[in-house]
Amino acid sequence: MRKFGAGLMLLMITGIFSAVSRAEEAPPRHYYNAAENLNPDPAYIPGDFAQADKFAARNAYYQTKATLVEGFTGAEAVTLGTGEVTFKIAKNETASVLGYFREYLGVLTLGAAGPERMEMILNINSLETGVPGRNGRILDLFFESMKPELGTADVVFDQFEVPGVWESWALGETRSVAASGNLTLDGVTRPVSARLSVIRQGTSWKVESEAPLMLNPSDFEFGNRIYDLMKSCNHKSIGNAVEIKVKLELR
């Protein structure tokens, strides 16, 4: 009985350390497709992709957008839609896929001491990579953005570090502002931070990321969807790092 108890204890300890070790493993740099899923023809190009119905998801985005603007008090600056939210991700280890999101809304609440809160919603279904078939595959197979609850990404910055005195920010002056908060994507919320170059222009503000925001899909529990995407696109790999850049104008 003692031997059995000691063995059980050893097994439990081993299991605990194994779980800790797995939890501390670094995320993969790339996801790799199984060889049997790849078309051997180097000239093969995936054909058209049937588009899923995203009507309900788009309506949910517009309703969320309307809710965000309902609370305007006049102490906010709002994105004008004249900027861009772009991304870059690696495929097949060396090639880059570039794209952007056409629809988003951001609201910046300003207080006496400077920015207090920045909330931004992004319509996942407004993704554009320049290739309609690829757009459909990414949206349907990876994001599953036809589901209303997965059709938006939400960013809330509620901590800011603004150098200097807020009242002394002169027109045309650029300052480097650190912002941190949370990003919700695929129903998962993770901390996010950014360093932003901010220019004050009268009643408007120009905001641009100083360096790309780096996101890892592995942090947002997409599971096997990335393998479904690789199989459909005939990619041997997809990178586990996405570079996000923003260039916004608020007024």
User: For domain 29-250, which CATH number applies: 1.10.8.60, 2.40.128.110, 1.10.10.10, 3.40.640.10?
Assistant: 2.40.128.110
Whether 141 has a pLDDT exceeding 90, the answer reads yes
Q: What is the pLDDT of residue 207?
A: 96
pLDDT in tens, 15-37: 444 444 444 578 899 999 999 99
pLDDT in tens, 100-140: 999 999 999 988 888 999 999 999 999 999 999 999 999 99
How many CB atoms are located within 10 Å of the residue 23 CB? 7
By C-alpha distance, which of 194, 192, 207, 190 is closest to 250?
Answer: 207
pLDDT in tens, 178-223: 999 999 999 999 999 999 999 999 889 999 999 999 999 999 999 9
Distance CA(159)–CA(141), nearest Å, equals 34
The per-residue b/e assignment along 58-77, b for 16 or more CB within 10 angstroms, e otherwise, is bebbeebbeebeeeeeeebb
**Any idea what DSSP says for residue 109?**
E
What amino acid occupies position 210?
E
Cβ(91)–Cβ(97) under 8 Å?
yes
Strands 188-201 and 213-215: unpaired
Strands (E), 16-173: 30-32, 76-78, 84-91, 95-101, 104-111, 114-123, 127-128, 152-161
Spatial neighbors of 47 by CB under 8 A, at least 6 apart, are 133
Q: What is the pLDDT of residue 167?
A: 86
Q: What is the pLDDT of residue 24?
A: 55
What average pLDDT score do residues 45-74 get? Answer: 92
Q: What is the pLDDT of residue 113?
A: 84
Distance CA(136)–CA(122), nearest Å, equals 17
Domain segments of the chain as ranges: 29-250
Percent of the chain past pLDDT 90, that is, above it, reads 79
